[in-house]
Amino acid sequence: MKSLRLGVWLSKPFVFFTLLMVIKIYLARIVVFDSASAWLQIATGIPSVWVLFCLIEWLAPRKKLGVYLAVNLLITTIYFAVIMYYKYFGVIVTYHALQQVGQVTEVKGSVFSLLHPYFLFIYTDIVAVLLLFFNRRFRKWGKTLSVREPGILISAIFVISLGVSVMSVWTHRDSINELKQAENMGILNYQAYAVIASATAEIEDPSNVTPEAIAKLKGIQLGQDPEASNYWGKLKGRNVIVLQLEATQNFLLNHTIDGEEITPVLNQLSKKHFYFPHFYQQVGQGNTSDAEFVVNTSFYIPPYGAAAQDYGHLALPSMPKVLKEQGYQTATFHTNNVQFWNRKELYKAIGFDEYYDAKFFGNDDMVFFGPSDEVLYDKTADELLKMSQSGKPFYSQVISMSSHHPFNIPERKIRFKLPERFDGTLVGDYIQAQNYTDYAIGQFIEKLKENGLWEKSVLIIYGDHLGLPIYSLTEHEKNLMKEIYGRSYQFSEMLNIPLMIVAPGATEPKVFPQTGGQVDIMPTLANLLGVSLQDHIHFGQDIINVTDNLLPQRYYLPSGSFVNDKGIFVPGLKYDDGLTYPFDGVEPSKNDSTEDEFSRALELLRLSDSYVSNLPKHD
């Protein structure tokens, strides 16, 4: 009798699909919130599911099985996306990622490399139900479900579940850390909260965004005559080549594996010219295109989504526009299609005169979704020579791509023989891809010398974003990183990218120990070229002349994170339970960052958001 009663209850879609959701919530908890209470995840996750199930019982009683299956598929896909996204980026994906659905086919290799077979377990029930649809008894059972459950019971469940969901969101709305918000609100509740938070974000009056306000928040002094700065105008009139390296991290430089240098070309450049070893990425959901945005505008990335998609329609103040006023011609080079990441609009917004994309570079020597870096540099060098023959200096940005995730470059491109312990690892593939990147840079330099551009140009060389997220490394891979770097791989290594300023005959061997970020490239270059930015709103600083820095972080770290001169601060629920990860690799502590820095970092982001979002649209 008891088993019969249990069978009756389990045959009810509300109960049956609730049990399925419990399993899926638990699976997501294992991957994303491994240290969180399983009961907390279920207690916050199930009420939001029940709200939807109650609506089904009210609105679709006659077709409830089909609607339950559709809602199950939708929720399952949300959980699957959260798991996949977290495994690489370490963030909770929200509806903003829907903007990027069109990019998936371009980066399918990266997507498939992140797909662990056990992630697909979350879809097992859906596959089973689809197969059961061919069974007559199952279809007959589905027809018997077209009855309304007791209205009082469903109403009570709805009210209680909605109340619990609202309380889960309300009590954790002030938490800064998005991961902690999702953990304590529940994933579905957090998705709803993200929609509301995006629509109700506070915007500062853009007239309050002034150089003085920015300098005060950054803790730096204004008022110095820019012409009194060190290296002011040292490179005046030179051609500028801004070389953005795909997924290149700083730990690669000046390190060896079994005595062999990983990046011999970059090593030599770092020893003979200006080198900034404490330099950090500031990108978000747009990754490479975000780096292009930050470097060319000295603004921070938007709070949600990619800069190219959120800001691509705006008339952005930028380095190309500033230099065009100084008589420069401007161009950008990238072997992918210009439509990828809405770059066509971004390049209009930034003000490049010309762009060169897949149409220009052709289909020779393909690596991933574009021609190899060797093709990129060879054709770019020839085009730069043509530009120089006009008699006007040029500002060019060159975007490398061959070392793109998942880093498994073609066998013909592998030049670095790794020991067996690196076989089949993401770290091993990454090192071989970056070694090829380094080789191609050497070929580019030789071509610039042949064309007579080497001595007349300055190269700004930097990484666009991290390549090896902590979240996606196995224990073996973490041990390999420790072997290479000499200490545990932490946030301070993960976000650290190289910056070199290479101007033959002008930049002597010099290591700058100060902290910097991608937002600082524009003002630093402006100083070297002798161009004043005093009348331009920008959030970076000249890191040759200003030693103290505060770099707000977003996306790859929770909101409220920042880089200061001691390390990287990451908040917990708020500032009080946050930790600073020191640059020297010792254990994280609570003593190297202040609440004042935390507040100022958040305010800097808010000012940038307010200023940029109020800019006029471009033509």
Active site residues: 288
Distance of alpha carbon 120 from alpha carbon 98, whole angstroms: 21
Q: Taking the CA of residue 114 as centre, how many other CA atoms within 13 Å lie in the half-sphere pointing to its CB?
A: 23
| Single-letter amino acid, residue 458 | V
Among 573, 548, 549, residue whose Cα is nearest residue 559: 573
Distance of alpha carbon 343 from alpha carbon 349, whole angstroms: 9
State the DSSP code for 487: S
- The gap from C-alpha 185 to its chain's centroid, in whole angstroms, comes to 23
Residue 357 contacts residue 336 (beta carbons within 8 Å)? yes
Residue 316 contacts residue 615 (beta carbons within 8 Å)? yes
Distance of alpha carbon 462 from alpha carbon 543, whole angstroms: 14
Strands (E), 73-203: none
Distance of alpha carbon 398 from alpha carbon 521, whole angstroms: 15
Residue 535: strand, helix, or coil: coil
Distance of alpha carbon 450 from alpha carbon 444, whole angstroms: 10
State the DSSP code for 573: S
Strands (E), 16-80: none
Among 519, 480, 521, 469, residue whose Cα is nearest residue 500: 521
Distance of alpha carbon 149 from alpha carbon 155, whole angstroms: 10
Would you tell me how many other CB atoms lie within 10 Å of the CB of residue 126?
A: 15
Which element (helix H / strand E) includes 260?
strand 260-261
* Residues annotated in a binding site for Mn(2+): 246, 288, 464-465
Would you tell me how many other CB atoms lie within 10 Å of the CB of residue 19?
A: 10
Determine how β-strand 562-563 pairs with β-strand 394-399. Answer: unpaired
Distance of alpha carbon 308 from alpha carbon 301, whole angstroms: 9
Distance of alpha carbon 422 from alpha carbon 408, whole angstroms: 13
* Residues annotated in a binding site: 246, 288, 404, 464-465
Q: What does the block give as tokens for 117?
A: 């077979």
Q: How far apart are the first and last CA of the chain?
A: 75
As a whole number of angstroms, the longest Cα–Cα distance in the chain is: 94
Determine how β-strand 366-367 pairs with β-strand 260-261. Answer: unpaired
Distance of alpha carbon 547 from alpha carbon 309, whole angstroms: 33
* Residues annotated in a binding site for substrate: 404
Among 539, 494, 547, 554, residue whose Cα is nearest residue 516: 547
Alpha helix segments (H runs only) across 530-569: none
- Per DSSP, the chain holds a count of helices (H) and strands (E) of 23, 17
Residue 206: strand, helix, or coil: helix
